[in-house]
Amino acid sequence: MEYIIITIGFALTIFGLYGILSQKNMIKIIIGFSLFTTGINIVMVAIGFIRGGTAPILDEAGKEIGKYVDPLPQALVLTSIVIGLGVTALMLAYVMKLYQDKKSLNINDYKDLKW
């Protein structure tokens, strides 16, 4: 199962990256980022998975099984998700402001700085 999930994770990462690099619409690009980070998060959690392990909560139910998955990658992913939200919100704010300026969502229209 974890093999399938990590495959999904990698696939989403690459797919998201393709979206970032290929889409002209800036909202779509940010969607690409969203998929990209989601994919990476899946990979990270999958890395910490232990076959037959349960959530690392050592309450009565958990102690019965006695085998836990690694809590560390999960903690990292928590951080990563929140960072992802911050970055996404920031990018969207930029896009919103840029749109007011030129009334376009096409990234090709924002090339005032070059060379």
Partner 1 sequence: MGKKTMIALITLALAFVIYPLYQSYNGSETLKDVGQYYIDNGVEETGAQNLVTSVVVTYRGLDTLGEVTILFLAASVISFFLSFSKNDRIKSRSIRSVTEILTTSTQVLVPMIFMFGVYIFVNGHLTPGGGFQGGAVIASGIILMFLSNPRFKLSHKVIQFVESTSGIVFVLIGAAGALMMDGDFLSNKIPGFGFGEVGSIISAGAIPVIYTFLGLKVGAELSNVLGVFVESQSEK
Partner 2 sequence: MVGPIYIIAIALGLAFFLGFFGKSLKDVSAFLMLAGLAFMTFISGQWLLAFFNGSVTTQEIFTAGFRPPYSINLRMGYEEAVMTTMINVIGFLGGVYMFKRLKEVGNSAMSVFIVLIMSLNVIVMTRDLFNLFVFVEIGSIATAGMIILEKNSKSLQAGLKYLMATGVISGLLLIGIIFAYYFAGSLNIDGIITAHVGVTKAGAVAVFLIIAVLVLELKPFPANGWGLDVYQSAKPGFGAIVSAATATAGLYVLYKVLPMGGETWYPYIVLIGLITFVGSNLVGTRQKDANRLLGYSSIGQIGLVMTVIGLQPILGSKFSFIAFALLLNHYLAKAGLFWLSGIIKKEKISDWYVLRKNKALLILFVIFIFALIGFPPFPSFFGKYELIMSLVSTENIWIAVLILLGSFAEGIYMFKWLGDVLKDEDQTEESLNISWNKFIPIVIVGVSLLAAGFYSTPYVEGAHYFYFIPLGFIVFMGLIDFLPAYVKNTLSIAGMTYYSYIIYPLVEGDLMRTIFFVIFMIGGILTLIVGYNKKGKREGFYPVALMMYAGLATILTSDSMFGFFFGWELMTAGSYFLIIRGKRSKPHAYSYMLFSVAGAYLILLGFAFAYTSAGTQDLIALKDIAVYTTLAYTLLAVGFMTKTASLGLHIWLPGAHGEAESDVSPMVSAILLKAGVFGLMLLFLYMGQQTGETLLFVLGWVGAFTALVGNLAAVFQEDAKRLLAYSSIGQLGYILFAIAMMTQLGWLAGFTYVINHFLFKAILFIVVGGIVVRTGTHNLYQMGGLLKKMPFSFVAVLIGIITLAGIPPLSGFAGKWLFYNAVVLKGWYIQGVIVFFAGSIAFMYAFKLIHSIFLGQLKDNHRNIKELSPAILIPAYILIGGIIYFSAYPQNVLEPIGNMLSAYFPATVDWSGDGLATTVLSYWNGNAVLIIIVTTFILVLAYLKLITGKTTKLEQFNIAYSAERPFRPETTHVSYNMFAGLNKAIGFLIAPGITRFWKNISDMVLDLAGFIRRLYSGNGQVYAVHIIIYIVIFYFISLG
Partner 3 sequence: MLIVLASVLGIASMVGAYFAIHSKSLTVAIIATGVVSLISSILFLLLAAPDVAMTEASIGSALTSAIFFLTLNKIRQTNG
Residue 58's binding partner among partner 2, partner 1, partner 3, none (Cβ under 5 to 8 angstroms by kind) is partner 1
Residue number with CB closer to partner 3 (20 or 115): 20
Minimum CB distance to partner 2, residue 76 (Å)? 6
| Consecutive H or E run containing 31 | helix 26-47
Residue number with CB closer to partner 3 (1 or 115): 1
What is the rounded CA–CA span in Å between residue 57 and residue 101?
Answer: 51
Helices 26-47 and 2-22, axial angle in degrees (round to 10): 160
* Interaction between residue 65 and partner 1 (CB under 8 A): no
Minimum CB distance to partner 2, residue 43 (Å)? 7
Contact yes or no for 81/71 (Cβ under 8 A): no
* Interaction between residue 18 and partner 1 (CB under 8 A): yes
Check residue 109 and report its DSSP letter.
Answer: G
